[in-house]
Amino acid sequence: MNTDGRQTRICPRIPPWVKTPRLKQPFVSICVQEPAPSEVEGWFPPWFSRRIMRLAFYTYSYTDRLEMPIEPALHSIAETGYDGIDISGTNGKSADPESVTTELRQLTRRTADQLGLRIEAIITHATLADSLFTDTPLDLAGSADLAVDAGAPLVVFHMGGPVDDESKRQEAWIRVVSYLKDSLTYAESKDVRLAVDGVWKDWLVETPESFLRLHDEVGSPSFGVNFDPCYLMLRGYDPAEVAHQW
């Protein structure tokens, strides 16, 4: 829900953007929509928020792990009652967004439209920080192109990072900031936003504070974080407190 001008992402859809009191405030994303007054008249007292949360299903387990064709997968998801989907930024075992062929992109978008499912986000798999020490860095620009073709407003990526080597972690931080700045310049030209998939142990962003530091160094309003209460609780944080912090 939108509270204090922030967007909190539980399922991956960015609602309308609003200004916040914090300079360069990161977007945190929730799937909410504002129903027509007639739809909720008499349901709640006047002071109660009329926003309704949408739920989206990540297709990875069906399409990537079980190799289920996209059409029956989306039919099952829609029949279950979900409002939208996240889709993988790659196809099968490939780490290249081009592995999601033009035909598969068109089929996914057409089927989702027919079923009334929103494509909420593109989810990548390789960890960004680690990939920057290889010959094949995570292709966020290619993922942004995939988002455009799928009609998704957002690309979510995992951070990762070197462990037990402070000098390499510092070098990774510098590389990540530079790479994100370049990737965001491209993504913004496509009207696509980028978000790191929460905070986790040993990642470069392993605390809420470290994410805020990264956000401020990257310096883009199109860079944010996937608000994952599960990750936060497993890391010993109170999700409500972090939501206010972000």
Please give the chain's pLDDT, 246 residues, in tens. Answer: 333 333 334 433 333 333 333 434 554 544 444 444 444 445 445 544 555 678 899 999 889 888 999 999 999 999 999 999 999 999 988 889 999 999 999 999 999 999 999 999 999 999 999 999 999 999 999 999 999 999 999 999 999 999 989 999 999 999 999 999 999 999 999 999 999 999 999 999 999 999 999 999 999 999 999 998 999 999 999 999 999 998
The pLDDT value given to residue 45? 53
Q: How far apart are CA 227 and CA 230, in angstroms?
A: 9
59 and 86 in contact (C-beta within 8 Å)? yes
